[in-house]
């Protein structure tokens, strides 16, 4: 009888395991809302919101990122309170008119217990919390909505965001499987939510303001992101002015050459074109050196794509974030415009550059 009961239970057990499978692999079908949530068995994961608030001519850029990292200590440090996971969060504010860049960060060890009161990342849906900082997704008949809260008494600003989806999810790569190198295991599951409509409450310097804007959100998880030869990457996520969306990236060797590349462009008509590794070329056009880290960053790029050449130009040079108190990375993450061949703006979003201060360790 026990054997028969076990055999009867096996299909249901296999189904449950399949539905909660964190394995990064080609052909894996992303399922919702499960894959909006955390994937604790994967080594690295992040939820990444970038955008701008206020007037078009003098915007305030923002970055809100929650990271999860599996430590691999479960076997060596057994027990409920072992630090199986690390949770980090970064937030930054770029006031273009004032020329200021403010940043804040938090970090917390996490046992993996979803009931932990101080920090956790839920599996069922987007719900990441580190103390008073949080990012949560709310499904609704009018579209998904994300709620974020960062900063506060121990930070140079406080920001509350409501990010309203206006378009379907954009699955990157091949149905959400995004290659990051020549080996199949160098990959992530990756989707984007472009053209988010933003309502924000910003507090800084004793003043409070209600603002509106536009944003882009990425969710990505992986076991092996960087090939051994790669020191970092260059990435853009751009909300196009016509309602489309553009993402492009390249992984970079120490000599500046491209090791791998990829991306996609969704037109205003909803059609998606995926870019193969050899179809993209990033060419630096102007550099800026950080006084804090001495890292030298290209703050203007020409990017050649199958859809044509465009220029990415930072709206402010000094948008470096120092994350050494959390995940250890120093990187450049800043509000930028996308220009066509005539120099006219055709989009706005974020440019990210890692591995210029030192090789990025993941």
pLDDT in tens, 148-195: 999 988 899 999 999 999 999 999 999 999 999 999 999 999 999 999
Q: What is the mean pLDDT of residues 202-210?
A: 96
Tens digits of per-residue pLDDT, 296-354? Answer: 999 999 999 999 999 999 999 999 999 877 776 899 999 999 999 999 999 999 999 99
Identify whether 189 is part of a domain: yes
Give the total number of structural domains in the chain: 1
Distance CA 58, CA 7 (A): 65
pLDDT of residue 75: 54
* Six-digit token string for 241: 């002015």
pLDDT grade for 16, boundaries at 50, 70 and 90: very low
Identify whether 4 is part of a domain: no
For residue 275, the enclosing domain spans 28-354
Least reliable range by pLDDT among 41-45, 198-202, 230-234, 357-361: 357-361
Q: Any residues with CB less than 8 A from the CB of 205 and at least 6 apart, and which?
A: none
Identify whether 335 is part of a domain: yes
Closest C-alpha among 339, 337, 348 to residue 245 = 348
Sign of the CA dihedral 125, 218, 95, 100?
positive
Identify whether 9 is part of a domain: no
Identify whether 361 is part of a domain: no
Closest C-alpha among 143, 106, 144 to residue 128 = 106
Say which CATH number the domain at 73 has.
2.40.370.10
- In this predicted structure, the answer to whether residue 257 has a pLDDT above a threshold of 90 is yes
Query: Could you give phi then psi for residue 263, rounded to 5 degrees?
Result: 160, -175
Identify whether 122 is part of a domain: yes
pLDDT of residue 323: 83
- In this predicted structure, the answer to whether residue 13 has a pLDDT above a threshold of 50 is no
Identify whether 360 is part of a domain: no
Identify whether 138 is part of a domain: yes
pLDDT of residue 79: 57
Per the model's pLDDT, the better-predicted residue between 23 and 37 turns out to be: 37
pLDDT of residue 8: 42
């Amino acid at each position: 009888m026990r054997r028969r009961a076990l055999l009867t239970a096996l299909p249901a057990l296999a189904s449950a395991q399949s539905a909660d499978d964190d394995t990064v692999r080609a052909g894996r079908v992303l399922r919702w809302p499960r894959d909006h949530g955390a994937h604790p068995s994967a080594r690295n994961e992040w939820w990444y919101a970038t955008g701008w608030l206020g007037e078009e001519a003098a915007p305030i850029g923002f970055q809100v990122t929650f990271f999860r990292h599996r430590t691999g200590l479960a076997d060596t440090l057994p027990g409920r309170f072992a630090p199986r996971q690390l949770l980090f969060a970064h937030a930054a504010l770029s006031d273009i008119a004032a020329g200021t860049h403010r940043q804040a960060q938090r970090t917390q060890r996490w046992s993996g217990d979803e009931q932990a009161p101080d920090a956790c990342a839920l599996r069922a849906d987007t719900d990441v919390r580190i103390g008073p900082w949080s990012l949560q997704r709310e499904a609704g008949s009018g579209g998904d909505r994300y709620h974020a809260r960062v900063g506060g008494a121990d930070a140079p600003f406080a920001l509350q965001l409501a990010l309203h989806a206006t378009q379907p999810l954009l699955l990157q790569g091949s149905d959400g499987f995004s290659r990051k190198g020549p080996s199949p295991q160098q990959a992530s599951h990756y989707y984007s939510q472009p053209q988010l409509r933003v309502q924000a409450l910003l507090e800084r310097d004793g003043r409070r303001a209600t603002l509106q804007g536009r944003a882009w959100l990425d969710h990505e998880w992986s076991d092996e992101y960087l090939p051994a030869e790669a020191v970092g990457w260059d990435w853009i996520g751009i909300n196009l002015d016509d309602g489309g969306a553009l993402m492009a990236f390249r992984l970079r060797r120490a000599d500046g050459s491209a090791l791998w590349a990829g991306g996609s462009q969704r037109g205003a008509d909803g059609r998606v074109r995926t870019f193969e590794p050899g179809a993209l070329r990033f060419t630096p056009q102007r550099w800026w050196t950080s006084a804090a880290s001495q890292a030298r960053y290209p703050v203007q790029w020409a990017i050649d794509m199958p859809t044509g050449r465009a220029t990415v130009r930072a709206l402010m040079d000094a948008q470096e974030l120092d994350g050494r108190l959390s995940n250890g990375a120093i990187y450049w993450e800043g509000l930028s415009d996308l220009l066509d061949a005539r120099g006219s703006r055709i989009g706005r979003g974020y440019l990210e550059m890692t591995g210029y201060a030192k090789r990025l360790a993941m």
